[in-house]
Amino acid sequence: MTSIILRTATRYMFPPLLVFSIYILLRGHHYPGGGFVGGLFAGSAFALYTLAFDVADARRLIRIDPRDITAAGLAAALLSGIPPLFTDHAFLTGTWWEVPLFSGATMDIGTPLIFDIGVYLVVFGVLLTLVFVLGEEE
């Protein structure tokens, strides 16, 4: 099921795909994109890698157990709901902070962003789990 062309192409495609997935995740709040799509892109990058090489290689590449990634994502999404509780708002109400960047520029950082990162991690972890489990099937 493997071919040299696919392997070579994957080698070059893989890093840009991952970077792209994070880009998609971060710009999601203002432009098309977001955690779901970002996670899917990252997952398909690994699916591609698994197809080109095999599951053991892919596992070596990621090192972390995909189930842990899923759990971390769920935890991040849950935790992002906590801060508003301190200001007497409902669970998961969006809370924003203005973070100063270099030379007077500022950036809005909010709990929805953390939530979206959680979504990204869950989708990514779920995809990896499914691909690995099916790929390792005898």
Partner 1 sequence: MEVLLAIVIGVLYGGGLYLMMRRNLIQLIIGLGLLSHGANLLIFTAGGLRKGGAPILAEGEKAFAALPSDPLPQALILTAIVISFAVTAFALVLFLRTYEVVGTDDVDELKETDT
Partner 2 sequence: MLILLSICFIAALSAPWVYRICPKYTGAKLVAAPLAMFVWLLKKLSDVMHGHPVEQQFSWVKSLGLELAFYLDGLSLLFSLLISGIGILIILYTQGYFKGHPQQGRFLMYIMAFMASMLGVVLADHLLLVFIFWELTSFTSYLLIGFNHESAAARNAALQAMLVTVLGGLFLLAGIILMAGAADTWRLSELIQRGDLLVAHKNYLPILILVCIGAFTKSAQFPFHFWLPNAMQAPTPASAYLHSSTMVKAGVYLLARLHPALGGTEEWGMILTTIGTATFLLGAIMALGQHVLKRLLAYTTVSALGAMIMLLGVGTAYTIKAMAAFVLAHAFYKAALFMIAGGITHETGGETSIDKLGGLRRAMPVSFACALLAGLSMGGFPPFFGFVAKETWLHALGDYPILIGATVIGGAAYVLVGLSTGWKPFAGKMPAELHAHEVPLSMRIGPVTLGLGCLVLAFFCGPIGHALVEPAASSIAGEHVHVHLHLWAGFNKYLVISFITLGLGLVCYLARSLFLKTAARLGVLARIGPEAVYQLIYASVLKFAGWQTRALQTGILRDYIRVTVLTAVALVGAAFYRAGGFQQWENLSPISLRIALVAVLMILAALATVHSKSRLQSILAMGVVGYSMAMLFTFFGAPDLAMTQLVIETLTVILMALAFYHLPAFRHSSSVRSRLFDGTIAIGVGVAVTLLVLAALHVQTPTPVSDYYLDHSYDMAHGRNVVNVILVDFRALDTLGEITVLAIAALGAFALLKLRSGKEEGAP
Query: Which one, 76 or 122, has the nearer CB to partner 1?
Result: 122
**Interface ranges with partner 1 (CB under 8 A):** 30-32, 36, 40, 123, 126, 130, 133-134, 137
Residue 1 DSSP symbol = -
Indicate the residue type of 127: L
Rounded Cα–Cα distance for residues 35 and 128 (Å): 15
Indicate the residue type of 21: S
CB atoms inside a 10 Å sphere around CB 35? 25
Rounded Cα–Cα distance for residues 2 and 75 (Å): 37
Query: Which one, 40 or 45, has the nearer CB to partner 1?
Result: 40
Output the smallest distance, CB 92 to partner 2, in A.
4
Query: Which one, 9 or 136, has the nearer CB to partner 2?
Result: 136
The 23-52 contact track toward partner 2, x by CB under 8 A, reads -x---xxxxxxxxxx--xx-xx--x---x-
